[in-house]
Amino acid sequence: MSPTSETANGGRRLVIVESPAKAKTIKGYLGPGYVVEASVGHIRDLPSGAAEVPAKYKGEPWARLGVNVDEDFEPLYVVNSDKKDQVRKLKELLADSDELYLATDEDREGEAIAWHLREVLKPKVPVRRMVFHEITRDAIRQAVDNPRELNQLLVEAQETRRILDRLYGYEVSPVLWKKVMPRLSAGRVQSVATRLVVERERERIAFSSAEYWDLTGTFATVPGEGTFDARLTSVAGRRVAQGRDFGPDGQLRNPGQVEALSEESARALAAALEDASFSVRSVESKPYRRSPYAPFRTTTLQQEGSRKLGMGAKATMQVAQRLYENGFITYMRTDSTTLSDTAVAAARAQVEQLYGADYLPDRPRVYSSKVKNAQEAHEAIRPSGDRFRTPAETGLTGDQYRLYELIWKRTVASQMKDAVGQSVAVRVGGTATDGRDCEFSATGKVITFHGFLKAYVESTDDPGADSDDRERRLPQVTEGDRLTARSVEADGHATKPPARYTEATLVKELEEREIGRPSTYAAILGTILDRHYVFKKGTALVPSFLSFAVVNLLERHFGRLVDYDFTARMEDDLDRIATGDAEAVPWLRRFYFGENGAAGAAVTPGGAADAGNGDGDHLGGLKELVEDLGAIDAREISSFPVGEGIVLRVGRYGPYVEAPPEDPESGEPGKRADVPEDLPPDELTVDLAKELLAKPSGDFELGTDPATGHPIVARDGRYGPYVTEVLPEGTPKTGKNAVKPRTASLFKSMALDRVTLEDALQLLSLPRVVGADPDSGEVITAQNGRYGPYLKKGTDSRSLQTEEQIFGITLKEALAIYAQPKQRGRAAARPPLKELGDDPVTGRPVVVKDGRFGPYVTDGETNATLRRDDDPQTLTPERGYELLAEKRAKGPVKKTARKAPAKKTTTAKTAAKKTPAKKAAAKKTTAKKTATKKTAATRSTAKKTADGDGAPAASTGARGTAAHDGASGTEAG
């Protein structure tokens, strides 16, 4: 029965999806009789802070977790404060409806959202679960005609993940606060991902480069018909050492089996081969064949989006989300490489139409997923519909056009013929004047039929690797042909440390290790970047010194939780819960309480032990681990030797280096110096540490203030150099009688090691009284502020040009400034730092500017602050467009409306005068005020604390940037 015929009988059906964009598209396909509304992401979640815990649970020992660990891990769900109005709207729409269709995405998270909607709305009308993997007219109508029931196994699997991540994050994160730094977070997958990045940096730090040499010969056939280059491969029967023959310690792995050439020996050999005669010793020709790449799934789309388009995983998924919601592509969170029969037919039709029948294989190609326990039976990511729109037909622009084109090309190419050709290997031999036999080799590749390479060529992570469509042609030579050496040159090389991860390679590594779910990787990368565990240098992911301390603590005291195999086994267990082969509660009990379960309860048969097929024995008690903090030495886990007694330490205010004390017996610490937070750890050498320590630092005693007798010192603070007075011992620092020392920042023209007592006293005397306005009698002062020097008269402030004017400006000059009309708005715009070209999305010119809070990129409408690793001078247009796309995807900043301040009344008076009914009303008003404040406060708390996954879903996109395992990942908080 079609939607139109079904609604002809009357009645109204409420269809609930996640996002407004999705709702708008689907509404156009369903027509009258259907009301389509968005839940705007998750409507209910575990409390994100104490303020969200209902009053009746606040005294419970488990309230902080939001999970009753003593009662079968019963979760405490609350409607998100920013979703209460939307829930109210949904209830009103449901009251006028005859049926409810829950049309959230068909994955674990989508199923959980549908379940939460049913639980909160409590419908009294029939409930249908409506699922589809593309938003097209036919797919939506088919979904309406073929509803199903809610899949409780998927719901249970998702809720188990949610509870697991809450337990992990809310129990382990406070350990980091106490032992490393406040406001840090830990998460089941984010911590493991951080460890991978840190381990790669450790390998780079421990790496010793080795120098090796070889020869390159340019050879010509005797008639001179062509030349080709060949590399020296053996000398006197021994293979010439290449980079792969050296270990990370810079030494040969098998020194007796290879010939390692030094610069001297390589140049001598090149000279000995100048007059040698050469001939072709062998020619090997083999058929070359390359099959198409499988259609995109989530991780391969993120990797190619990074390599080809310069888009981060998060930006790629945001753009893909918009393409899906607007009906251009199928669902973008999938582990599958399968194409439906409809999609195969559409792809094959376009192959024949665009490339001809010669490029079409006899039978459709079938791809099987390589992902273990692939999540739901979705299709691969492909253009939607039974006929693919070419990129030009979509009307898309900017990032959406580029990503759609990538998906379209990959899908069409997957149904094309193989690329075929010939690969050739040629060996050239000659004898040096010293009698040693030398052999060179060259390889070539010729593609005789490009096949799928006409449509799509996959990029590689290795910038030095050849692409699949690159040809290397060699002249036609046969065995025994005489060759002339045009030149023989000695080439020097050095081994390189392992490359840092990029977003693409880290996603690939996580997937290969079977850690986490592919649909969560974009959020995990976003989390470790937002937490400053990792920063970007170009496209490389560089771990911060902070992440070294965090990983150090986790490895030493929570080793099992960041063990790669253990994390992968947890993923297997969670998948078994999703299929009904394991039970959630016994598994959670064993993970949290340990081998004997909670309160002495035994693990039930078929529970955790069975679920893990023996792996359950490895599930330690998280609760016991986090309670045993006495063994954790905070100073030790945050200290790392640099060399020559110098130690890097991660303090609460950032990293610093510390030299050994001059007198070890004094107990005094050695000299210290701050380390730039954006310094890659492998670049902190002993020499650099000494250079940092040699810079002026510490307290510079300038003398005594004659007026107070207090010492005056100059210091280098975290926010720049300043001077301050030292108050006598015993001066109260807190309470009503607290005395604060006078402080003042140094002028930009002043140096810390050259500032004088006179300078300091002058600075501490600010603000300086310039004089009184003869007309109004108001006093005019000159002072230094956050945004520079200025004059102040009452509430009227005027900027000064230089800091030196503060002490030199006269009353006459000040009055002249005030006599001028006050400039409204911003000062004249400064010229841009760099022009990047026109934005592909908006068409507006994009420039880099220097703002109050640092450099930013703008198209005149959207502004995006540059990240720490972005250099304004070297910023590429693509990177600028990506930053703007990310900012646009977040949507406009929502401002919380201010409410009129309530009249001040004491609790006692209120209790005495109010009736019970009015007390209830007052309580309701307070709750509303709390909710208003909570919009910003709770999010801030969630970001600063949380479990790596605890932030409530944002209201942008289908699911925003948070919460669970599908849209934004298990650890998006």
What is the secondary structure of 426-452 as a DSSP string? Answer: EEEEEE-TTS-EEEEEEEEEEEEE-GG
Confirm whether 922 is domain-assigned: no
Q: Give DSSP secondary structure letters for 29-71.
A: HH-TTEEEEE--S-SEES-SSGGGS-GGGTTSTTTTTTEETTT
Between 597 and 478, name the one with better pLDDT: 478
Strand 711-717, strand 534-537: pairing? unpaired
Last residue of a domain, one of 494, 509, 539: 494
Q: Are residues 525 and 561 in the same domain?
A: yes
Between 864 and 116, name the one with better pLDDT: 116
pLDDT digits (tens, 9 = 90+) for 726-739: 988 888 877 778 88
Confirm whether 718 is domain-assigned: no
Range of the domain at 126: 3-43+80-150
Q: Are residues 346 and 409 in the same domain?
A: yes
Q: Are residues 611 and 548 in the same domain?
A: yes
Q: In what order do the strands lie in the sheet with 13-17?
A: 34-38, 13-17, 99-102, 127-129
Between 256 and 780, name the one with better pLDDT: 780
List the beta bridge partners of residue 673.
Answer: 657
Give residue 225's pLDDT band: very low, low, confident or very high (50, 70, 90): low
Residues in the chain: 973
Confirm whether 358 is domain-assigned: yes
Res. 933: pLDDT tops 50: no
Q: Are residues 791 and 802 in the same domain?
A: yes
Between 914 and 443, name the one with better pLDDT: 443
Confirm whether 960 is domain-assigned: no
What is the pLDDT, as a whole number, of residue 260? Answer: 94
Average pLDDT over residues 768-794: 90
Cβ neighbors of 485 (< 8 A, separation 6 or more) are 217, 218, 219, 273, 274, 276, 278, 430
What is the pLDDT, as a whole number, of residue 201? Answer: 97
Res. 606: pLDDT tops 70: no
Nearest to 970 by CA among 530, 520, 577: 520
At position 840, the amino acid (one-letter code) is P
Identify the active-site residue in 29, 324, 331, 355. 331
211, two tokens:
């120098």
pLDDT digits (tens, 9 = 90+) for 259-268: 999 999 999 9
For residue 304, how many other CB atoms are within 10 A of its CB? 22
What is the pLDDT, as a whole number, of residue 466? Answer: 63
Last residue of a domain, one of 661, 678, 694: 694
Alpha-carbon separation of residue 144 from 112, 418, 442, 834 (angstroms): 20, 40, 62, 52
Q: Are residues 385 and 483 in the same domain?
A: no
521 is catalytic: no
List the beta bridge partners of residue 17.
Answer: 38
Window from 481-495, 616-630, 799-813 with minimum mean pLDDT: 616-630
Give residue 464's pLDDT band: very low, low, confident or very high (50, 70, 90): low
Angle (nearest 5°) at CA 753 between 748 and 758:
75
Window from 728-737, 822-831, 862-871, 902-911 with minimum mean pLDDT: 902-911
Give helix then strand counts, H and E, for the chain: 28, 34
Q: Are residues 659 and 671 in the same domain?
A: yes
d(C-alpha 106, C-alpha 408), whole Å = 23
Res. 862: pLDDT tops 50: yes
Between 749 and 262, name the one with better pLDDT: 262
Give residue 761's pLDDT band: very low, low, confident or very high (50, 70, 90): very high
For the packed helices 584-593 and 564-578, what is the interaxial angle rounded to 10 degrees? Answer: 150
- The C-alpha R_g of the chain, in whole angstroms, comes to 34
pLDDT digits (tens, 9 = 90+) for 401-454: 999 999 999 999 999 999 999 999 999 999 999 899 999 999 999 999 999 999
Res. 460: pLDDT tops 70: yes
854, two tokens:
């640092």
Q: Are residues 505 and 437 in the same domain?
A: no
Instruction: Classify each residue of 387-416 as buried b or exposed e, where b means 16 or more C-beta atoms within 10 Å of its C-beta.
Output: ebbebeebebebbbbbbbbbbbebbbbbbb
Res. 280: pLDDT tops 90: yes
Average pLDDT over residues 32-43: 92
Alpha-carbon separation of residue 827 from 669, 822, 852 (angstroms): 48, 11, 12
Window from 139-148, 559-568, 598-607 with minimum mean pLDDT: 598-607
**Pure H helices in 446-593:** 503-512, 521-530, 545-557, 564-578, 584-593
Confirm whether 871 is domain-assigned: no
- Here the CATH number for the domain that contains residue 112 is 3.40.50.140
Confirm whether 737 is domain-assigned: no
d(C-alpha 278, C-alpha 477), whole Å = 13
% pLDDT > 90, the chain: 52
Res. 964: pLDDT tops 60: no
What is the pLDDT, as a whole number, of residue 285? Answer: 93
What is the pLDDT, as a whole number, of residue 931? Answer: 40
Between 249 and 955, name the one with better pLDDT: 249
pLDDT digits (tens, 9 = 90+) for 112-122: 999 999 999 99
For the chain, the helix, strand and coil percentages under 3-state DSSP, each to the nearest 5:
35, 20, 45
At position 702, the amino acid (one-letter code) is L
Cα atoms in the 13 Å half-sphere on the side-chain side of 163: 25
% pLDDT > 70, the chain: 83
pLDDT digits (tens, 9 = 90+) for 338-386: 898 999 999 999 999 999 999 999 999 998 766 655 544 478 999 999 9
Q: In what order do the strands lie in the sheet with 779-785?
A: 768-772, 779-785, 788-793, 796-799
Q: Are residues 332 and 460 in the same domain?
A: no
d(C-alpha 518, C-alpha 524), whole Å = 10
d(C-alpha 730, C-alpha 492), whole Å = 67
Res. 468: pLDDT tops 80: no
Res. 943: pLDDT tops 70: no
Give residue 629's pLDDT band: very low, low, confident or very high (50, 70, 90): confident
pLDDT digits (tens, 9 = 90+) for 475-519: 888 999 999 999 999 999 999 999 999 999 999 999 999 898 888
Q: What is the mean pLDDT of the chain?
A: 83
pLDDT digits (tens, 9 = 90+) for 98-109: 999 999 988 888
pLDDT digits (tens, 9 = 90+) for 664-699: 776 677 888 889 888 999 999 999 999 988 876 667
pLDDT digits (tens, 9 = 90+) for 517-548: 888 898 899 999 988 999 999 889 999 999 99
Structural domain count, the chain: 6
Res. 44: pLDDT tops 70: yes
pLDDT digits (tens, 9 = 90+) for 883-910: 887 787 666 655 444 444 444 443 333 3
What is the pLDDT, as a whole number, of residue 10? Answer: 54
d(C-alpha 507, C-alpha 41), whole Å = 25
Window from 62-76, 571-585, 767-781 with minimum mean pLDDT: 571-585
d(C-alpha 259, C-alpha 40), whole Å = 66
Residue with the two structure tokens 């940092």: 692
Res. 758: pLDDT tops 70: yes
What is the pLDDT, as a whole number, of residue 500? Answer: 95
Q: Is the distance from CB of 43 to CB of 50 less than 8 angstroms?
A: no
d(C-alpha 197, C-alpha 543), whole Å = 6
Q: Is the distance from CB of 505 to CB of 200 less than 8 angstroms?
A: no
- Here the CATH number for the domain that contains residue 484 is 2.70.20.10
Last residue of a domain, one of 112, 127, 150: 150
Residue with the two structure tokens 């402030």: 797
d(C-alpha 496, C-alpha 681), whole Å = 16
Q: Are residues 253 and 345 in the same domain?
A: no
What is the pLDDT, as a whole number, of residue 770? Answer: 94
Confirm whether 111 is domain-assigned: yes
Average pLDDT over residues 34-41: 92
- Here the CATH number for the domain that contains residue 511 is 1.10.460.10
Q: Are residues 529 and 580 in the same domain?
A: yes
Q: Are residues 16 and 103 in the same domain?
A: yes
Q: Are residues 622 and 505 in the same domain?
A: yes
Average pLDDT over residues 796-805: 89
What is the pLDDT, as a whole number, of residue 830? Answer: 63
Give residue 839's pLDDT band: very low, low, confident or very high (50, 70, 90): confident
DSSP state of 465: S
The torsion angles phi and psi of 426, rounded to 5 degrees, stand at -115, 135
- Here the CATH number for the domain that contains residue 319 is 1.10.290.10
Confirm whether 252 is domain-assigned: yes
Q: What is the pTM of this model?
A: 0.73
